[in-house]
Amino acid sequence: MNIQHARFNMIEQQIRPWGVLDSNVLSALEEVPREAFVPPEFRHLAFADIEIPIGRGQTMMEPKLSARLFQALAPQPGEKILEIGTGSGYVTALLAHAGATITTVEIYPELLESAAAALGVLGVDNVSLEAGDASTGWPKGDAWDGILLTASVPQLPAAFAESVAPEGRIIAVIGKAPAMEAVRIERDGAGSLLTTSLFDAQLPPMVNAPDPHVFQL
């Protein structure tokens, strides 16, 4: 497989047509080697428009969704960004490419280990990797400039809204299959939250995410 040609086609045929046009995002997609984060047995599918299994029942989201969520978050140099769900580490690498300081949390230690190894090979040094269950929030750290959830939640846990800084934002896919949407939740200078619907999206559910609509005995 011609890697550079496949990467070019991924960007031009899958990602640009889905409204991903930001030059910083496109630059990151060109420079961060997606194939480095794909399990060896699926590396031939690295640029395909599909979810790729990465172990423990988890998947690497399709390229266009990774790119569009990255574009929606729009991390800036020097910002403090929290990623919930490290997964393969590919989205983590995209966020780090933007020059932000990234804290990423993964519930499965073996996935975190694999992501750490891939990030290390690429020399990514602005990422802090944390093992733990962040399905109801992540208490470590101060207020975040941006928070990205890489798995869907039925409803955004309040702890995330409480931990975003003034003028900060959260990007998440909210809902339950088949009715899900990506949203941007912003905190204004007065502390109020504004939610904007971005686009329809489908993501696997976050492990242990609370569902307020399920009756608990």
- pTM greater than 0.75 (yes/no): yes
pLDDT higher than 60, residue 144: yes
- Among 3.40.50.150, 1.10.3720.10, 1.20.1050.10, 3.30.420.40, name the CATH number for the domain at 3-200: 3.40.50.150
Delimit the domains of the chain by residue range: 3-200
Contacts of residue 62, defined as CB under 8 A and 6 or more positions apart, other chains included, come to 14, 48, 49, 50, 51
Pairwise CA distance, residues 216 & 52, whole Å = 33
pLDDT score at 217: 43
pLDDT band at 123 (very low <50, low <70, confident <90, very high): very high
Pairwise CA distance, residues 75 & 95, whole Å = 7
pLDDT higher than 50, residue 116: yes
Per DSSP, the three-state class of 180 is strand
* 48-73 residue pLDDT tens: 999 999 999 999 999 999 999 999 99
pLDDT score at 214: 58
Pairwise CA distance, residues 42 & 56, whole Å = 15
pLDDT (mean) for 124-151? 95
The residues facing 122 across adjacent strands are none
pLDDT higher than 50, residue 18: yes
What does 145-165 look like in DSSP terms, one character per residue? Answer: EEEEESSBBSS--HHHHHTEE
* 169-188 residue pLDDT tens: 999 999 999 999 999 999 99
pLDDT (mean) for 121-135? 98
Dihedral angle, C-alpha 48, 115, 112, 144, nearest 10 ° = -90
pLDDT higher than 60, residue 21: yes
pLDDT score at 65: 98
